[in-house]
Amino acid sequence: MQSINISTLQNWKNKKNKFAAITAYDFSFAKLFSNQGIPVILVGDSLGMTIQGHNSTIPVTVENIEYHTKAVRKGAPNVFLISDLPFMSYYQINQTLQNTSKIIQSGANMIKIEGGKYLINIIKELSNQSILVCGHIGLTPQHINYLSGYQVQGTTEKDANRIIEEALSLEDAGIKMLVLECIPSRLAKKITEKLSIPVIGIGAGNYTDGQILVMQDLLGITEGKQMKFVKNFLLNNGSIQNAIKTYISEVKNGIFPNEKYSF
């Protein structure tokens, strides 16, 4: 695979070429995903649940993210690699810069942070240091206790307007990509059209520039009740390789997510 960078993704946005992304946490899966043509991988703090067995992302540490970022980068040297800054690791500027430097030095191209307008000063400082930042609004798992569970966001006019406002403010502060999680597809469409930067959706319909799924969800190995937006691509595809190829193709062609997997 040719090396993917932020200019590549921006060019796809401009040309309305949709792209697929996936989480990964180790060398083997990162290599497999890259070999099938996945251009963007996220080392998500979802590893707290999928790898460590916690019931939320909150226990994940910067050291955890560093470790898994190094492993994924070795497996997928040419993908655009995003890594999460975990819970309470970016509430002060100096602390944020220190933690970000560790993760970027581990191999990430971009860091992702969850939250709205209160992050503007931190985003501006990171941008001043030439660090690529991905925002994340809508359902933000690090705030799960405050949100009282995994629920769709932006369902009222007031909440939808707040999310639009947050998206515009974050772009103005300097983010170069935005993740929208668990919001109605029509709201995601508005935001994607208003923003000049690439927008990736998870449970946000198929109007966004890209889609992302947690690898365990995509492969149907997550136990318990699944979120509405989760599709098991392994079920009818015979192999992990074919499942990934089908996922990439369905995202590129706007097939996934259809109404069944959208709010």
Catalytic machinery residues: 181
Specify the 3-state DSSP secondary structure of 240: helix
Q: Is the Cβ–Cβ distance between 131 and 104 less than 8 Å?
A: yes
Is 26 assigned to a binding site?
Answer: no
Alpha-carbon gap, residue 187 to 198, rounded angstroms: 15
84 annotated among ligand-binding-site residues: yes
What 3-state DSSP class applies to 218? Answer: helix
Burial 24-39 (b: 16+ CB within 10 A, else e): bbbbebbbbbbebebb
User: Beta-carbon neighbour count of residue 156 at 10 Å?
Assistant: 9
DSSP 149-214: SS-----SHHHHHHHHHHHHHHHHHT-SEEEEES--HHHHHHHHHH-SS-EEEESS-S-SSEEEE-
Tokens of 188: 């995601």
Q: Structure tokens of 106? A: 């581990």
Nearest to 135 by CA among 150, 148, 118: 118
The tokens of 50 are what? 């999928």
Please give the helix or strand (H or E) that residue 94 lies within, else none: helix 93-105
249 annotated binding-site participant? no
Give me the residue label for tokens 């970016």: 90
Say if CB 56 and CB 141 are below 8 A apart: yes
Is residue 112 annotated as involved in ligand binding? yes
| Binding site residue list | 45-46, 84, 112, 114
**Residue list, annotated binding site for 3-methyl-2-oxobutanoate:** 45-46, 84, 112
Binding residue positions for Mg(2+): 45, 84, 114
